[in-house]
Amino acid sequence: MGTGLALYHMLLSSTVKANVLSSLKLMGKGMLGVFIVMLLIYLVVVILNKTSGSKENKK
């Protein structure tokens, strides 16, 4: 019984470890995508502010 339990824990831990590493890679890609989109939105806002000018400059 003890050997079967040890084998079960050995197989389970390797599976869990592989799943955790896989999910961390996926989470990292998702977070990188979020930051890239945030950077693109920021750059678009900065470019639009530079090209359109402010209301104070038009007076």
Quote the percentage of the chain above a pLDDT of 90. 53
Burial of 59 (0-12, 13-18, 19+ CB in 10 A): exposed
The better pLDDT of the pair 47, 57 is held by 47
If one compares 1 and 32, the residue with the highest pLDDT of the two is 32
**Mean pLDDT of the 16-31 span:** 92
The pTM of the full predicted model, rounded to 2 decimals, is 0.62
In this predicted structure, the answer to whether residue 17 has a pLDDT above a threshold of 70 is yes
Q: Report pLDDT for 58.
A: 55
Q: What is the pLDDT of residues 37-50, one digit of tens each?
A: 999 999 999 999 99
- The label of the residue with tokens 């920021």 reads 42
